Amino acid sequence: MRVLVLGGTRFVGRAIAAAAVDRGWQVTVFHRGVSGTPPAGARSVFGDRSTGGVAAIADQPWDVVVDTWDGSPEAVRDAADVLRDTAGRYVYVSSRSVYRQPLPGGLDEDAPLVAPGDGYGGDKLAAEHAVRDVYGMRALVARAGLVLGPHEHPTRLVWWLRRVARGGDVLAPGPPYLPLQYIDVRDLAGWLLDTARDAVSGTFNAVSRPGHTTMAELLEACREATGSAARLRWAEPETILAAGVQPWSELPIWIPDGSPVRGLHETNTDRAHAAGLRCRPVVQTVADTWAWLRSTPDVPNIGGLNPARESALLDRIASS
């Protein structure tokens, strides 16, 4: 397979390029050279898609193009159009942000959508339309869920690993059995390449099944991976929210019941799993991410709860 990855130097795109190289496929990564380097074995072509640079590789044949762009949808439309005669298939990594809030439990691919062009989700949706308009049945759109794993960006699991590794009392957002839904970046990459090889088309929620893990299983996996003696201090959602702590941003991954986006952990994924998606256990994702993080000490934290705020809330909980 001759694979063109538009991007391919950071997280999802990099994982896709690496997985294709591991299969012995011919991999070309088109990128600007500002967000890292492609995996070993992939060929680099430098260019800027926002200024029409994709045209420089439009005369080469590609079995599949994989596109993870999350900027202007016009850049996706331009790339799809320029490559329409030389690319056999086009895989676009979209987002479940295309669904209109509030997100209900069990939402599937036919759930109500935002308006094209309305913020991040609207841009992703407009890009989906562009790919389908050009490629039709040669297109696959993967509405990815929460993506975790090595080379993570943004750093959600990384934040929890570092916090648990630091030890002491850790604010654990409850309830412990709260179901979580995510996908390991390597499982996403492998499945996308499988669908390209097998000429699968359509739109899919690409994430694990609901309840793939829980908040407690995730944090216990962080303790095991880091070897930390941290003490998990579970707090009720109402207590955390009353203190003004923001789910997802200050306490990454956590979305309590009642949130308008709780459906991000309760999405129907029957279609993707029927098409072969398989997801590894949380302990493997966590352990491998910790191993990568230890070998890459300059990974920045993005977001997360300020230590002083966490300490104040833990004191409040202990005295109540």
- Residue 77, pLDDT score: 96
> What's the CA gap between 312 and 318, in Å, rounded?
10
- Residue 35, pLDDT score: 82
Report the pLDDT averaged over residues 165-174: 97
**Domain assignment of residue 306, yes or no:** yes
Among 182, 168, 121, 157, which Cα is nearest to 291's? 157
**Domain assignment of residue 275, yes or no:** no
> What's the CA gap between 269 and 277, in Å, rounded?
9
* Domain assignment of residue 224, given as a range: 150-180+211-262+281-319
Tell me the DSSP string of 38-78.
PPTTPEEEE--GGGTGGGGGTTS-EEEEEE---S-HHHHHH
Among 34, 38, 49, 35, which Cα is nearest to 8's? 38
Amino acid at 142: A
Same domain, 38 and 121: yes
Report the pLDDT averaged over residues 223-247: 97
Residue 132 has pLDDT above 90, yes or no: yes
At 298, is the pLDDT very low, low, confident or very high (cuts 50, 70, 90)?
confident
**Domain assignment of residue 189, yes or no:** no
- Residue 227, pLDDT score: 98
Q: What is the mean pLDDT of the chain?
A: 96
DSSP letter for 299, please: P
Same domain, 105 and 164: no
> What's the CA gap between 232 and 220, in Å, rounded?
9
> What's the CA gap between 43 and 40, in Å, rounded?
8
Domain count, the chain: 2
Same domain, 99 and 235: no
**Domain assignment of residue 73, yes or no:** yes
Q: 307 by DSSP, 3-state: which?
A: helix
Residue 35 CB contacts under 8 Å (≥ 6 apart), including other chains: 9, 10
Residues 155-165: tens digit of each pLDDT: 999 999 999 99
CB 301, CB 159: distance < 8 Å: yes
Report the pLDDT averaged over residues 137-161: 96
CATH number at residue 12: 3.40.50.720
Residue 320 has pLDDT above 80, yes or no: no
> Would you tell me how many other CB atoms lie within 10 Å of the CB of residue 198?
9
pTM metric for this prediction? 0.97
**Domain assignment of residue 195, yes or no:** no
- Residue 196, pLDDT score: 97
Same domain, 81 and 223: no
Angle between helices 119-135 and 73-82 (to 10 degrees): 10
- Residue 259, pLDDT score: 96
Residues 37-53: tens digit of each pLDDT: 899 999 999 999 988 89
Residue 195 CB contacts under 8 Å (≥ 6 apart), including other chains: 91, 140, 275, 276
DSSP letter for 251, please: B
> Would you tell me how many other CB atoms lie within 10 Å of the CB of residue 242?
11
**Domain assignment of residue 169, yes or no:** yes
